[in-house]
Amino acid sequence: MTALAGTGPLTRLALRRDRIMLPVWVYLIVIMAASTVSSTKGLYPDTASRMRLASSTNGTPALVALYGRVYDPTSLGAVSMLKLNVFGAVAAAALSIVLVVRHTRADEESGRLELVGATAVGRRAPLTSALSVMLTTNVLIAVLCALALTTAGLPAAGSAAAGLAWGGVGLACGAITAVVAQLTSHARTATGYSFAVLGAFFLVRAFGDTSGEDGPRWLSWLSPIGWGQQFRPYAGNRWWVLLVMVVFAAVMTVVAYALVSRRDLGAGILPDREGPATASARLTGAIALWWRLQRGSLLGWAVAFAILGAALGGIASNVGSMADSKQAHDLIIKLGGEKGITDAFLATEMVFASIFAAAFGVQAVGLLRAEETGQRTEPVLATAVSRWRWAAGPVLIALLGSVGLLLLAGMVAGAVYAGQSGDSAQFGRLVGASLVQIPAAWVVIGIMVLGYGLVPRFTAAGWAVLVAFLLIGEMGPLLKLPHWVMDVSPFAHTPKLPGTAWSATPLVWTTALAAVLIGAGLWAFRRRDITS
């Protein structure tokens, strides 16, 4: 038996397990690309409008940090891909991280790989299977995104470069995750470290892109996200950058294979740090334990929301000048001038902030299922800890954490925008705009709790519902869906602040719905059996 024996069956098993998650995630990335290009083409139909947009973007550090530079101001493709260059790459990278951890470290932690390893399966087969699934997914992203962009009316060569850029970034980050999975001994730790590395890559790329002519622009070349931008789709199409990504991924893969042969199954290269002999008073109770488990994740989300708020506040002052075609001018007039379109931009971005806050809540509640499948829930419930107290911890952290994240984003965005505009009232307006998004995020958390309480294996339905709400919000206006379909999403009922009148009625109803969903989920959990 060779070290790669059993790779084929494990790969087929992994694809079967991901038969729902993979198509949904890939479809979301492809639709995001096609819809963004379709909406941008009408706003900047001529060369002059594109050049004004590129000049405004390249002259705004916050925009450059968030999206990167426009390398060809005359190219419709380069302008249309302004947002997608970075966010498409980050989406592919995030999917690669999830896949590699799910089929390596997570399977080891749950004990599945120990059972599989007792059969005719080689030592390197699980890692090879995970990398094969990750590679196949990124190839699929590259091909489908290239086809979608070409179908949307962009040049085929540039579309191929854009697809390869996203797939290449996903490949590089997936290979890095394979190394991280060998270093750590827990899936949650491997995921956290991998996303921290991805965040560091984003910041390094942003710092390099915003540097002056004499500054350290070379820093962008230290980041796979920067490599994706250096493909320069529709602005030169640098195909040779793909070689950099492939070589880097190959080196990381060799390192991962070397590490997997030097550690025991279930253990990591880095030893687990021994804790104190006795617990501190701060660990008294189930909620304190949950806080200890999730505080690192919440801190990472807080940093991301602070950066998001700073970017939104920095961009807000330039939104009006970016829309400069006749269609965009008509839109500005309808929205009430530049102030109106700025408010509309901020209201839209606050909805996205709410979706991200809901994602944190879904992740926090999902830890309940991870503890149950890891057979750590039943021993705790055998003590004096009630089911209500045990389940209430992650739910409480999800609810309060989403509030804190939205409040942080609103405060930072308000402070930056108020400083740039000289209008101190903007601080309170943006804080209020962020807080009205809370009930919608709570509804998604409630759906997650209900799924966990009723049918534990459907806990991941919270992610599917969140993606569905995102698709309805993004694609609904383009597809001209009926209002009743649009109203399915709780995010459609939140007041569009700042800039419009608001009513407390939808907030009360969505809050009540969230309370009912959470209460029903906790009640169902108290009445069902603990599963493995």
Q: How confident is the prediction along the chain (532 residues), in pLDDT tens digits per residue?
A: 688 888 888 899 889 988 888 888 888 888 878 877 777 776 777 788 788 778 877 877 777 887 888 888 888 888 888 778 888 898 899 999 999 999 998 888 877 777 777 777 778 888 999 999 999 999 999 999 999 999 888 899 999 999 999 999 999 999 999 999 999 888 888 888 898 899 889 888 888 888 877 778 888 899 999 999 999 999 889 999 999 999 999 999 999 999 988 888 777 888 777 777 777 777 777 888 888 888 888 888 898 899 888 888 877 766 655 555 444 444 444 434 445 667 777 887 888 889 999 989 998 898 888 888 777 888 888 888 888 888 889 999 999 999 999 999 999 999 988 888 888 888 988 999 999 999 999 999 999 999 888 888 777 677 778 877 877 776 666 556 777 778 888 988 888 888 777 788 889 999 999 999 999 999 998 888 887 5
Identify whether the C-beta of residue 473 lies closer than 8 Å to the C-beta of residue 351.
yes
C-alpha span between 302 and 81 (Å, rounded): 28
In degrees, to the nearest 5, what angle opens at C-alpha 65 toward C-alphas 423 and 412? 35
Identify whether the C-beta of residue 155 lies closer than 8 Å to the C-beta of residue 77.
yes
* pLDDT at residue 333 in the model: 40
Residue 315 corresponds to which tokens in the numbers above?
A: 């961009």
Residue 73 CB-half CA count within 13 A: 14
Amino acid at residue number 511: T
C-alpha span between 197 and 191 (Å, rounded): 10
* pLDDT at residue 443 in the model: 94
**Length, in residues, of the chain:** 532
C-alpha span between 72 and 452 (Å, rounded): 49
**Any idea where the domains of the chain sit in the sequence?**
1-271, 283-532
Identify whether the C-beta of residue 420 lies closer than 8 Å to the C-beta of residue 384.
no
C-alpha span between 63 and 76 (Å, rounded): 18
CA pseudo-torsion sign 275, 279, 282, 283: positive
Query: Do you find a cis peptide bond into 233, omega within 30 degrees of 0?
Result: no
C-alpha span between 311 and 82 (Å, rounded): 15
Identify whether the C-beta of residue 388 lies closer than 8 Å to the C-beta of residue 408.
no
Nearest residue to 485 (alpha-carbon basis) of 494, 495, 475: 475
Identify whether the C-beta of residue 308 lies closer than 8 Å to the C-beta of residue 356.
yes
Q: What share of the chain is helix, strand, coil (3-state, %, to 5)?
A: 75, 0, 25
- Categorise residue 236: left if φ over 0, alpha if ψ from -120 to 50, beta otherwise: left
* pLDDT at residue 323 in the model: 52
Which residues contact residue 93 at a Cβ distance below 8 angstroms, ignoring those fewer than 6 apart?
Answer: 169, 170, 172, 173, 174, 198, 224, 225
**Which residue intervals of 59-83 are DSSP H helices?**
61-67, 76-80
pTM: 0.82
C-alpha span between 317 and 314 (Å, rounded): 7
* pLDDT at residue 379 in the model: 86
**Which residue intervals of 184-285 are DSSP H helices?**
187-209, 224-230, 241-260
* pLDDT at residue 336 in the model: 42
C-alpha span between 149 and 468 (Å, rounded): 22
C-alpha span between 134 and 45 (Å, rounded): 38
C-alpha span between 475 and 480 (Å, rounded): 8
